[in-house]
Chain A
Amino acid sequence: MNYKMMGRFLAQILSIEGIFMIPALCISLYCGDSMAVKGFVCTLLIIAALAAVLFLVCRGAPSAFYAKEGLVCVGASWFVLSLVGCLPFWISREIPSYVDAFFEIVSGFTTTGASILTNVEALSNGILYWRSFSHWLGGMGVLVFLLTFTGEKGQGFTMHLLRAESPGPNVGKLVPKMRTTAAILYIIYIVMTIINIILLVIGDMPLLEALCTAFGTAGTGGLAIKNDSMVRYSPYLQNVTTVFMILFGVNFSCYYLLLIKEWKSVIRDEELRLYFGIILVSILLIALNIRSLYPTLEETIRHAAFQVGSIITTTGYATTDFDLWPSFSKTILMCLMVVGACAGSTGGGLKVARLLLLMKGLRRNIRQMLNPRKVEVVRNNGAVVDEKILDNTNAYLAAYVIILFAVFAIISLDGFSIGTNFSAVLCTFNNIGPGMEAVGPMCNFSAFSDLSKLVLSWAMLAGRLEIFPILVLFSRRTWQQK
């Protein structure tokens, strides 16, 4: 293991975190919240000290960096990022418990949007900004950002890092250079976020709220800045958010293909078709199911579309308390939680691409059962899918289910109902945010014990990093010296 190289990465990631904390500090200074200013300043000092020590210790790192280092580095940096990122909440005493603060920032970085705060509106503006900005940073990935915009040069290892941090079964490059690829993705991300902010401001949303809402939408996070999420906003703002949530759940390479005018391959993309197919069918079914709850058709469809878009992209905003919906609609939403967004987007969940591969693999296996001699390959968009990717996808599903039930079992110790517990696990592990019943959209996670909060935080990280980096981090094999 190349610890020195990993130390360098950690130092750089901490520096980036520090740099991004400065705007939040400025907002706190502007608003005159002395406690928040104290929180940010102390954290920045800690970051500076840690980074300086790490840089000093890890001078002259050898350049050997392989898949194992990539996985461990990604896993470790997300933990460190969260451990340090929650300090402003804790030091400013706005979230008095460190575990709560940790849960809140993990929920932010992993773009989950589950909160332990009973009264969000009591937070000061700088803290609110930092909490929402963590969504934006976590959505696309911190290491990807590092690789894109800092001087760290490397040949092979950039791919290992990107693979470990980017969602999806098969991470590829758009252009020959990794760095250019990451830059293209980030630029698309930034431009779309800015458009979203402008559209929200046009709809008379105050600038800070627009920033926070857009960050939550872009990262498909969903930490709201109001206690009742987006219920009180105008239909225009809700619709803008619906559209952007769904857009940020699309594989970003599709946008690149649109930029280079490869219309056909975007239109024919199987994952994209399935994604929009699922969204349309779900909206239709839910709208039919809840039509008696709302006075007008427009409102019915608006709420159905918003909730479907919010859940499938794993954002987690709400315009209505969908916990009050009939159980058919709630079940559809639960299924969407598992499905998740497209691979290569900022969303979480199992990913539509994996679902597609699993279904195709299943279909092939059934055909082979009927005719054992038949040889068949699985295709995606016409190209043959490597058997290794299929194996990985199956292994992913297995790990997914095992972790889901293990976490479910642990948090059941707190004695809530099965529905609460199960939806709590689903919505943290899939990075959604609100679940059903006691963790529904108008409630929060504050009632859980510290153990449950830590386990759920772990599940959020595992869900965001697609399980394997976190499993590797906790595997004995990783740390054994050969």
Chain B
Amino acid sequence: MNIIIAGDGKVGSALTRQLTSEGYDVTVIDSNPQVLESSVERYDVTSVQGNCAAMSVLLQAGVKDADLLIAATNADEVNLLCCTTAHALNPRLHTIARIRNPEYSDQIYRMRDVFGLSMIFNPEQQAAREIERLLKYPGFLRRDVFAQGRTEIVELRIDKNSKLLNVRLIDMMGIIKCRVLVCAVLRDGSTVVPNSGDFTFREGDRIFVTAPTKDLTTLLKNLGIITRRVRRVLLCGGGRVSFYLAAALEKSGISVQIIEKNYDRCQELCAQLPEVDIIHGDSSDLELLESQRLSEYDAVVTLTGEDELNMILSLYAGSVGIPQVITKLGHASSRSIIDSLNLGSVVCPKDLCVSNIVRYVRAMQNQTGAAVSVHAIADGQVEAMEFLVDENTKNCDTPLKNLKPKANVLIASITRGSKTEIANGDSMFHKGDTLVVVTNGRGAVRQLNDIFA
């Protein structure tokens, strides 16, 4: 499949990396030759230098033979123009545009239809949604959603007060009183897939649990994790993510304060968010944070434009005992350093929208059972994939215990209609079901039928 990526910025290059690694033919367009050069050096791509909305540039990039165009320059209007121009040159082309201006955010579906786009993505809004979901369920470090929100893989940390400390897997059911599946455990930087009932949880483990969404509350309650509703949230930095997040939290009645250092931006936020307290000041000024009674907040989200500052602030917030800390990272390239720090939940807008787009690309290619979505969990060592069972799927209606899956593959859940079942030996899947499959062999599974040995 031929894919053109217009705009080789943060999102553009992350997409390039992901899509080339999956074997697609990628052409990158950017106006900056240096950026292009580094992309060509690192990945197996061709590049075209120029304005991506110009017809000549698009033709040079091979728009006539392309299947998909992803416009991710930093200007919304250029992205739209690029997509409509390309669409005019090649009516078969699927187009995806990044639209991040909050003023357009409540009209993206209409814009998609008006401009004939296949998809519009907004990294900041997605990040805000993700953070909102985390704030609604304090206690999970991370939530990955499958089967249209019916199944989730959540991340939990076993600390010294945890009820699961030194508990064997086989006894876990008795404590949490609902059916879940521990699909991976991250211990000392490496992943273990627990396969016997004798597996014992230790302090410092981060466990990844597959559970139906409706059981999450039960899970938290029985684990004794304080699920005190978040009432007061402090957002450091008043960027776009802050705006979306504050608007969403404001609606659900949570009191929000934003600290922003640019006075004009403060006023803008003030005008747009009537219920939110806007503080003018630099979040890196710890004295300012103290004067705003930092320790009285239920949650702190660090959303400034600088990753380093976000990390420091999150560490500080964790050290004064804020129950929930969420860190936004723009680059997040060195996950190993990040994981050694206590940053709470980490949200990376770039990764979120890359996985969203990759999902779309796979669905495009996939008339034959490729993954609907792929989530990298346990620091990328494990992939959780969502598949749709169709007529070409082998082994339908066979109990799982009679199947021989590949060694490193685990069927975690089966969702049928609105019901999610955590897989056990007697489960079976039918046509139309949604499966969540967990594997720690990277790239080994591309299609559902790959899971069978």
**Chain A contact residues, CB within 8 Å of chain B:** 371, 373-377, 379, 382, 384
Nearest CB on A from B237, distance (A)? 14
Which of chain A's residues has its CB closest to B281's CB? Answer: A373
In the bound complex, CA of A375 to CA of B267 (Å): 7
Query: Is the CB of B279 closer than 8 A to any CB of chain A?
Result: yes
In the bound complex, CA of A384 to CA of B267 (Å): 10
- Is the beta-carbon distance between B279 and A374 smaller than 8 angstroms? yes
Chain B contacts with A in 229-282, Cβ cutoff 8 A = 263, 266-267, 269-271, 274, 277-281
In the bound complex, CA of A379 to CA of B275 (Å): 11
Looking at A376, A377, A382, the one whose CB has the most chain B CB atoms below 10 A away is A377
- Is the beta-carbon distance between A379 and B274 smaller than 8 angstroms? yes
Which of chain A's residues has its CB closest to B269's CB? Answer: A375
Number of A-B contacts (CB under 8 A): 29
In the bound complex, CA of A374 to CA of B260 (Å): 10
Query: Is the CB of B55 closer than 8 A to any CB of chain A?
Result: no
- Is the beta-carbon distance between B274 and A375 smaller than 8 angstroms? no
Which of chain B's residues has its CB closest to A387's CB? Answer: B267
- Is the beta-carbon distance between A373 and B274 smaller than 8 angstroms? no
In the bound complex, CA of A379 to CA of B273 (Å): 11
Which of chain A's residues has its CB closest to B291's CB? Answer: A373
Nearest CB on A from B315, distance (A)? 23
Nearest CB on A from B402, distance (A)? 64
- Is the beta-carbon distance between A375 and B271 smaller than 8 angstroms? no
Question: Which chain A residues border B280 with CB–CB below 8 Å?
Answer: 373-375
Question: Which chain B residues border A384 with CB–CB below 8 Å?
Answer: 270-271
Which of chain B's residues has its CB closest to A378's CB? Answer: B270
Which of chain A's residues has its CB closest to B288's CB? Answer: A373
- Nearest 9 pairs of A and B residues by beta carbon: A375-B266, A377-B270, A384-B271, A375-B278, A373-B279, A375-B280, A373-B281, A373-B280, A375-B270
Assuming A382-B274, A384-B271, is B263 touching A375 (CB within 8 A)?
yes
A-B contact pairs, 23 of them (CB 8 A): A371-B279, A371-B292, A373-B279, A373-B280, A373-B288, A373-B291, A373-B292, A374-B277, A374-B278, A374-B280, A375-B263, A375-B266, A375-B267, A375-B269, A375-B270, A375-B279, A376-B270, A377-B267, A377-B270, A377-B271, A379-B274, A382-B274, A384-B271
Task: Convert B374-397 into 0s and 1s, putting 1 for each residue whose CB lies closer than 8 angstroms to a CB of A.
Answer: 000000000000000000000000
Question: Which chain A residues border B291 with CB–CB below 8 Å?
Answer: 373
Chain B contacts with A in 286-316, Cβ cutoff 8 A = 288, 291-292
In the bound complex, CA of A371 to CA of B259 (Å): 13
Question: Which chain A residues border B270 with CB–CB below 8 Å?
Answer: 375-377, 384
In the bound complex, CA of A375 to CA of B258 (Å): 10
- Is the beta-carbon distance between B279 and A376 smaller than 8 angstroms? no
In the bound complex, CA of A382 to CA of B275 (Å): 11
Nearest CB on B from A382, distance (A)? 7
Looking at A374, A376, A384, the one whose CB has the most chain B CB atoms below 10 A away is A374
Nearest CB on A from B238, distance (A)? 10
In the bound complex, CA of A316 to CA of B54 (Å): 71
Question: Which chain A residues border B292 with CB–CB below 8 Å?
Answer: 371, 373
Nearest CB on B from A369, distance (A)? 14
Further contacts, 12 of them, CB under 8 A, given A373-B281, A375-B269: A371-B279, A371-B292, A373-B291, A374-B280, A375-B263, A375-B266, A375-B279, A376-B278, A377-B270, A377-B271, A379-B274, A384-B271
Nearest CB on A from B88, distance (A)? 36
Which of chain B's residues has its CB closest to A384's CB? Answer: B271
Nearest CB on A from B116, distance (A)? 34
Question: Which chain B residues border A379 with CB–CB below 8 Å?
Answer: 274
Question: Which chain A residues border B277 with CB–CB below 8 Å?
Answer: 374
Nearest CB on B from A380, distance (A)? 12
Nearest CB on B from A375, distance (A)? 4
Which of chain B's residues has its CB closest to A383's CB? Answer: B271
In the bound complex, CA of A52 to CA of B310 (Å): 77
In the bound complex, CA of A374 to CA of B276 (Å): 11
In the bound complex, CA of A375 to CA of B279 (Å): 6
Which of chain A's residues has its CB closest to B257's CB? Answer: A374
In the bound complex, CA of A377 to CA of B269 (Å): 10
Question: Which chain B residues border A371 with CB–CB below 8 Å?
Answer: 279, 292
In the bound complex, CA of A169 to CA of B394 (Å): 75
In the bound complex, CA of A222 to CA of B270 (Å): 44
Nearest CB on A from B114, distance (A)? 27
Question: Which chain B residues border A375 with CB–CB below 8 Å?
Answer: 263, 266-267, 269-270, 278-280
Question: Which chain A residues border B279 with CB–CB below 8 Å?
Answer: 371, 373-375
In the bound complex, CA of A384 to CA of B278 (Å): 15
Nearest CB on A from B297, distance (A)? 15
In the bound complex, CA of A334 to CA of B269 (Å): 41
Question: Which chain B residues border A382 with CB–CB below 8 Å?
Answer: 274
In the bound complex, CA of A432 to CA of B291 (Å): 50
In the bound complex, CA of A377 to CA of B270 (Å): 6
Nearest CB on A from B354, distance (A)? 35
Question: Which chain A residues border B278 with CB–CB below 8 Å?
Answer: 374-376
Nearest CB on A from B247, distance (A)? 15
In the bound complex, CA of A376 to CA of B279 (Å): 9
Question: Which chain B residues border A376 with CB–CB below 8 Å?
Answer: 270, 278
Nearest CB on A from B106, distance (A)? 16
In the bound complex, CA of A377 to CA of B276 (Å): 11
In the bound complex, CA of A373 to CA of B263 (Å): 10
In the bound complex, CA of A373 to CA of B283 (Å): 12
In the bound complex, CA of A478 to CA of B278 (Å): 42
Which of chain B's residues has its CB closest to A377's CB? Answer: B270
Question: Which chain B residues border A377 with CB–CB below 8 Å?
Answer: 267, 270-271
Chain B contacts with A in 167-213, Cβ cutoff 8 A = none
Question: Which chain B residues border A374 with CB–CB below 8 Å?
Answer: 277-280
Question: Which chain A residues border B267 with CB–CB below 8 Å?
Answer: 375, 377
Task: Convert B107-137 into 0s and 1s, putting 1 for each residue whose CB lies closer than 8 angstroms to a CB of A.
Answer: 0000000000000000000000000000000
Nearest CB on B from A52, distance (A)? 54
Nearest CB on B from A339, distance (A)? 26
In the bound complex, CA of A376 to CA of B273 (Å): 10
Which of chain A's residues has its CB closest to B280's CB? Answer: A375
Which of chain A's residues has its CB closest to B272's CB? Answer: A384
In the bound complex, CA of A376 to CA of B270 (Å): 6
In the bound complex, CA of A375 to CA of B269 (Å): 9
Which of chain A's residues has its CB closest to B271's CB? Answer: A384
In the bound complex, CA of A371 to CA of B291 (Å): 9
Nearest CB on B from A268, distance (A)? 14
Nearest CB on B from A253, distance (A)? 23
Which of chain A's residues has its CB closest to B266's CB? Answer: A375
Nearest CB on A from B125, distance (A)? 23
In the bound complex, CA of A382 to CA of B278 (Å): 17
Question: Which chain A residues border B274 with CB–CB below 8 Å?
Answer: 379, 382
Question: Which chain A residues border B288 with CB–CB below 8 Å?
Answer: 373
In the bound complex, CA of A376 to CA of B263 (Å): 11
In the bound complex, CA of A382 to CA of B274 (Å): 8
Question: Which chain A residues border B281 with CB–CB below 8 Å?
Answer: 373
Nearest CB on A from B274, distance (A)? 6
In the bound complex, CA of A384 to CA of B271 (Å): 6
In the bound complex, CA of A371 to CA of B269 (Å): 17
In the bound complex, CA of A105 to CA of B43 (Å): 88
In the bound complex, CA of A371 to CA of B280 (Å): 10
Nearest CB on B from A207, distance (A)? 53
In the bound complex, CA of A374 to CA of B274 (Å): 13
Which of chain A's residues has its CB closest to B270's CB? Answer: A377
In the bound complex, CA of A382 to CA of B273 (Å): 10
Nearest CB on B from A482, distance (A)? 34
Nearest CB on A from B279, distance (A)? 5
Nearest CB on A from B270, distance (A)? 4
Which of chain A's residues has its CB closest to B263's CB? Answer: A375
